[in-house]
Amino acid sequence: MQTAETLQIKLDHDLAQTLRTNAEAQKLGLSEFVRHAVSFYLRLCEEMEIRRQYQKGYGEADLTELALEMKDWEEEQVWPEA
């Protein structure tokens, strides 16, 4: 496991109160809950950046539509053996 780093953050009163009374935050503990929330947010940002790049490259084509279109070809792919 990587070593943990302590960070100080400030939350406005209402958000801090909501966090303290949230059942999941109480179950996990505040530190673990915040770690999960930050990790989730960073993954979401990464996915949004990938979608932005996709739209830049392919225009308004629907990513889901393309994935469905390519699904039929997945079985046809041949990967060379090492």
pTM value > 0.85:
no
- Where do we find the tokens 């932005």? 52
Q: Which residues of the chain have pLDDT under 70?
A: 1, 60-63, 82
pLDDT at 32: 94
Return the axis-axis angle of helices 30-58 and 63-71, rounded to nearest 10°: 80
pLDDT of residue 68: 75
Look up tokens 């996915």; give the residue: 47
**pLDDT value, residue 14:** 96
